[in-house]
Amino acid sequence: WDRQRQRRERDARRIERLTTPYSRAPDCTAQLDASKLAAIEELVAQRLAAKLRRDFAESDALLQRLLDSGVRVTDDHRLWRSDDRPFVVPYRQEGGGIPRLGTGGTTRILALVLERGAAKASKDYRRADALEAELSRMGVGLDDRRRTWRYYDAAPLPPPRYARHGGQEGAGGAGGGGGGGRGGGR
Burial of 74 (0-12, 13-18, 19+ CB in 10 A): middle
Distance CA(65)–CA(70), nearest Å, equals 9
Parallel, antiparallel, or unpaired for β 164-165 and 168-169?
Answer: antiparallel
First to last CA, the chain: 22
pLDDT value at residue 179: 41
Distance CA 55, CA 152 (A): 46
What does each of the 186 residues of the chain score in pLDDT, given as a tens digit?
A: 788 888 888 777 776 666 778 989 887 889 999 999 999 999 999 999 998 888 999 999 999 999 999 999 988 778 899 998 877 777 888 877 666 666 567 788 888 988 898 888 888 999 999 999 999 888 888 988 888 888 877 655 555 554 444 444 444 444 444 444 334 443
What are the C-alpha distances in Å from 96 to residues 92, 106, 134, 138, 151?
Answer: 12, 12, 20, 15, 7
Report how far Cα 114 is from the mean position of its chain's Cα atoms: 13
Which residues, in sequence order, are CB contacts of 45 under 8 Å at separation 6+?
21, 22
| The pLDDT of residue 99 | 63
Short-list 91, 77, 88, 78, CA closest to 28: 88
Closest by alpha carbon to 94, among 132, 145, 21, 131? 145
